[in-house]
């Protein structure tokens, strides 16, 4: 409750500062409804479950989002309410911002903000966006800023995030930010970039490190994505991850650096139909591990404005979720052990 009291007090403050200069904001309401089903089959049987491809990593059930954005020339608000398909409804994000001068922006909110320092690579976590009070300065393509993120647990660290960006229009963008951990030591460091200079070429990459204050942390990685539009309709590319870079290998080889590679192709059949396919493989994440690989094909159909229906099928050689998604069984009960698994899904999203 203290966190939300802080957040909405800050929102009220930014609004009060801005209303004196701008009394004609423009409101915009958007939203979406997303749901689908997945049929999965493995050695233990078949099962059917609600499945939403387009929202988050959980992919569970229906999702309803409602967004309210209110923007003036020097201030604004953005609030999103979400039902995420697991019986939970929440404020997905809520933040306000004000520009006391053209080059300075101050923001406050419960997740989500206007700070331009989030990840540009395939990781795309955008971790700079969090519950915080912050500000940034921008001039001639360069931005620098900081934010204080309130904590829900007692900590000796000052919850500080610092970020910077340099963007050269239609050439490249580089983002960097860092956070602090225990005893105010540097913790997370993310440096990501995208190249925009070559027409038809998509090139992004980055170094992402978390938990640097813990020497045994294994969650640092480098990733890169390259894709090229061979024609207006057809493009191909590959994403590669070098993961577990900060792992301290144990004597029994229980953890080590490993690689993930994902070649993919996209083909636009028409304005209403598009095809996508990928192969996702990896090397062993530790000695004796069973590696995981997937192959997927997907057809996206857009029969009307704001409507997208996806038909997907994929095979997973080592499905970690085997047996954990079951809600309605077809045949034998699923045991929950990792196994090869075949999946077919249909998913529909209606946006306005």
Rounded to whole angstroms, the Cα distance separating 99 from 22 reads 11
pLDDT range class, residue 191, cuts 50, 70, 90: very high
Which has more pLDDT, 225 or 10?
225
Helix count and strand count (H, E) for the chain: 1, 20
Residue 4 has pLDDT above 50, yes or no: no
Query: How is the chain split among helix, strand and coil, in percent rounded to 5?
Result: 5, 55, 40
Rounded to whole angstroms, the Cα distance separating 16 from 9 reads 11
Q: How far from each other are the two terminal CA atoms of the chain, in whole angstroms?
A: 32
Which has more pLDDT, 56 or 332?
56
Which has more pLDDT, 158 or 229?
229
Q: Cα-Cα-Cα-Cα dihedral of 161, 219, 249, 222, to 10°?
A: -100
Nearest to 133 by CA among 160, 167, 93: 160
What pLDDT does residue 246 have?
A: 64
* Most confidently predicted of 26-40, 74-88, 332-346: 26-40
Rounded to whole angstroms, the Cα distance separating 185 from 97 reads 29
Q: What is the pLDDT of residues 88-131, one digit of tens each?
A: 667 778 999 999 999 999 999 888 888 899 899 988 767 788 88
What pLDDT does residue 25 have?
A: 79
Which has more pLDDT, 126 or 140?
140
Which has more pLDDT, 54 or 219?
219
Rounded to whole angstroms, the Cα distance separating 228 from 307 reads 27
Apex CA 225: angle with CA 143 and CA 270, to 5°? 105
Please give the DSSP secondary-structure letter assigned to residue 345.
E
The answer to whether the beta carbons of residues 144 and 163 sit under 8 Å apart is yes
Q: What is the pLDDT of residues 54-84, one digit of tens each?
A: 544 445 567 888 999 998 889 999 998 887 7
What pLDDT does residue 183 have?
A: 58
What pLDDT does residue 123 have?
A: 83
Q: Which of 197-211, 262-276, 313-327 shows the lowest mean pLDDT across its residues?
A: 313-327
What pLDDT does residue 158 have?
A: 67
What pLDDT does residue 36 have?
A: 87
pTM attached to this predicted model: 0.79
Residue 226 has pLDDT above 50, yes or no: yes
Q: What is the pLDDT of residues 286-325, one digit of tens each?
A: 666 778 888 999 999 999 999 999 999 999 887 755 444 4
Rounded to whole angstroms, the Cα distance separating 214 from 96 reads 34
Q: Average pLDDT, stretch 37-44?
A: 83
Residue 24 has pLDDT above 50, yes or no: yes
The mean predicted confidence, pLDDT, of the chain is: 79
Q: Which helix (H) or strand (E) holds 48?
A: strand 45-50
What pLDDT does residue 11 have?
A: 45
Residue 330 has pLDDT above 60, yes or no: no
What pLDDT does residue 83 have?
A: 79
Q: What is the pLDDT of residues 151-176, one digit of tens each?
A: 655 555 667 889 999 999 999 999 99
Residue 282 main-chain phi, psi, to 5 deg: -155, 160
Give bridge partners of residue 211 from the DSSP assignment.
Answer: none
Residue 278 has pLDDT above 90, yes or no: yes
Percent of the chain surpassing pLDDT 90? 42
Residue 71 main-chain phi, psi, to 5 deg: -130, 130
CB atoms within 10 A of CB 55: 22
């Amino acid at each position: 409750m203290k966190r939300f009291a802080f957040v909405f007090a800050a929102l009220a403050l930014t609004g009060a500062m801005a209303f004196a200069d701008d009394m004609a904001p423009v409101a915009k309401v958007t939203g979406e409804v997303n749901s689908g089903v997945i049929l999965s089959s493995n050695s233990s049987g078949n099962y059917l479950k609600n499945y939403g491809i387009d929202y988050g990593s959980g992919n569970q059930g229906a999702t309803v989002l409602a967004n309210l954005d209110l923007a003036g020339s020097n201030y604004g608000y953005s609030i999103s309410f979400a039902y995420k398909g697991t019986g939970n409804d929440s404020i997905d994000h809520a933040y306000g911002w004000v520009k006391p001068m053209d080059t300075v922006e101050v923001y406050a909110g419960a997740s989500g903000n206007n700070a331009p320092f989030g990840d540009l690579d395939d990781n795309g976590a955008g971790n700079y966006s969090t519950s915080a009070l912050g500000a940034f300065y921008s001039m001639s393509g360069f931005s620098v800023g900081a934010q204080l993120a309130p904590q829900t647990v007692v900590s000796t660290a000052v919850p500080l995030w610092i970020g910077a960006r340099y963007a050269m229009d239609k050439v490249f963008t580089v983002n960097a930010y860092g956070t602090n951990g225990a005893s105010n030591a540097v913790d997370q460091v993310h440096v990501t970039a995208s190249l925009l200079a070559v027409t038809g070429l998509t090139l992004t990459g980055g170094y992402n490190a978390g938990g640097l204050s813990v020497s045994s942390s294994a969650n640092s990685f480098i990733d890169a994505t390259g894709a090229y539009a061979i024609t207006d309709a057809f493009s191909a590319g590959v994403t590669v991850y070098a993961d577990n870079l900060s792992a301290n290998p144990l004597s029994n080889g229980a953890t080590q650096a490993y690689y993930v590679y994902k070649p993919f192709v996209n083909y636009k059949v028409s304005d209403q139909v598009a095809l996508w396919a990928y192969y996702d493989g990896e090397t062993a994440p530790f000695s004796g591990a069973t590696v995981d690989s997937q192959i997927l094909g997907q057809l996206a159909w857009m029969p009307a404005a704001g409507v997208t229906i996806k038909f997907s099928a994929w095979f997973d050689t080592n499905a970690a979720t085997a047996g954990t998604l079951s809600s309605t069984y077809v045949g034998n009960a699923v045991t929950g052990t990792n196994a090869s698994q075949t999946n077919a899904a249909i998913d529909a999203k209606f946006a306005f």
